[in-house]
């Protein structure tokens, strides 16, 4: 892991498959050490800036708790507590923060913005989410699969169902290819990953032996070890968009029939959260009023089932983020 010291994590493809799997293994070790009461604080005295242009639950708390466990200190900055992008450019902000902090996390819209921070900060920069990539999520996904699927990662059939056009679907495809998996994206043609993400994944597949399938056919769920999905709609989108999205994706809801179609009683269900599986959210109720659906991308029956490992997956955000920070900031491993 020492070869990662000083490195930024902006997208999965910034690392080799060996390095990517090494981060997953490191996260497993750090998680074990924490639970056994023998965690070493590799980051004592380090300072980390956490920048949030987009709101966050799991990413923010995962970084904060991971830093606390490791003896590091954090400062949280958002649109109301910094001038970045308003009165000060991303480059200038990076140049300043890089003199105060040992690392910077950024969660926002544009991939170009996190890349600018990395170019000018002089310290590791971590992508907590952009519109294009979500690498800290896919590390957590892989650790969760490693814990729950009794086979090597390279033998896993990893299936994503639903809207795969954006950060989660694109990162899912590339990370799975890096790990040599049988990766399958099941989505309507208009909701499949773009050519850029596919080309990156195919290049990794040539190296790792991964098998890539992108299809509209729900039959491709057969043999899945893990089934993942993501939200179909976001707060602020017009109801016209909701109706179009829901009509296109309705057949791709993860429900009991789809999980049964895997033919694998041990198949797990994963979701990066938040999930619209009931009416206990503002968006869930608004979508129900517009569409009549009481659940969207996943039914509550599946979400709350024994096959669902979504909260183990959420916890693993913290362990894998901790691994990223330790690997890039500590020379003592």
**Is 73 considered catalytic here?**
no
Peptide bond into 130 cis (omega under 30): no
Q: Are 172 and 141 in contact (CB under 8 A)?
A: yes
Active-site hit among 58, 60, 107, 184: 107
**Is 317 considered catalytic here?**
yes
**Is 107 considered catalytic here?**
yes
Active-site hit among 58, 271, 272, 313: 272
| Angle between helix 195-208 and 17-35 (nearest 10) | 80
Active-site hit among 102, 113, 182, 230: 230
3-state class of 94 per DSSP? helix
Active-site hit among 105, 137, 192, 307: 137
Tokens of 320: 């894998």
CA 322 to chain centre: 14
110 phi, psi to nearest 5 deg: -90, 130
**Is 86 considered catalytic here?**
no
CA 181 to chain centre: 17
CA separation for the pair 212, 300 (Å, rounded): 29
Active-site hit among 60, 170, 277, 317: 317
Q: Which DSSP letter does residue 88 get?
A: B
Q: CA nearest 326: which of 84, 88, 102? A: 102
**Is 272 considered catalytic here?**
yes
CA separation for the pair 38, 165 (Å, rounded): 41
**Is 253 considered catalytic here?**
no
Active-site hit among 60, 105, 113, 134: 134
Q: CA nearest 138: which of 15, 300, 255? A: 15
Give the catalytic positions in this structure.
107, 134, 137, 230, 272, 317
């Amino acid at each position: 892991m020492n070869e990662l010291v000083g490195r930024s994590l902006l997208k999965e493809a910034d690392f080799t498959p060996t390095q990517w799997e090494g981060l997953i293994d490191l996260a497993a070790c750090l998680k074990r050490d924490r639970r056994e009461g023998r965690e070493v604080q590799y980051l004592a005295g380090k300072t980390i800036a956490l920048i949030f242009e987009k709101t966050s639950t799991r990413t923010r708390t995962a970084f904060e708790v991971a830093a606390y466990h490791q003896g590091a200190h954090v400062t949280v900055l958002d649109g109301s507590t910094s001038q970045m992008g308003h009165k000060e450019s991303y480059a200038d902000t990076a140049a300043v923060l890089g003199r105060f902090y040992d690392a910077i996390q950024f969660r926002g819209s544009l991939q170009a913005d996190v890349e600018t921070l990395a170019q000018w900060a002089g310290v590791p920069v971590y992508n907590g989410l952009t519109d294009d990539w979500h690498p800290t999520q896919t590390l957590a996904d892989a650790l969760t699969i490693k814990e729950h699927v009794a086979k090597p990662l390279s033998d896993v059939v990893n299936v994503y169902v639903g809207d795969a056009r954006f950060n989660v679907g694109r990162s899912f495809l590339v990370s799975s290819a890096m790990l040599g998996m049988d990766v399958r994206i099941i989505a309507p043609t208009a909701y499949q990953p773009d050519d850029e993400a596919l080309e990156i994944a195919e290049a990794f597949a040539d190296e790792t032996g991964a098998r890539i399938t992108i299809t509209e056919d729900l039959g491709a769920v057969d043999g899945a070890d893990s089934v993942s999905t993501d939200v179909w709609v976001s707060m602020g989108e017009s109801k016209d968009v909701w109706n179009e999205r829901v009509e296109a994706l309705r057949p791709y809801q993860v429900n009991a029939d789809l999980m049964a179609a895997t033919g694998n009683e041990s198949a797990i269900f994963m979701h990066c959260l938040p999930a619209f599986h009931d009416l206990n959210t503002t968006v869930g109720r608004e979508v129900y009023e517009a569409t009549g659906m009481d659940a969207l991308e996943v039914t509550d029956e599946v979400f709350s089932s024994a096959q669902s490992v979504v909260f183990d997956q959420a916890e693993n955000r913290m362990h894998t983020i901790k691994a990223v920070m330790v690997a890039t900031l500590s020379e003592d491993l």
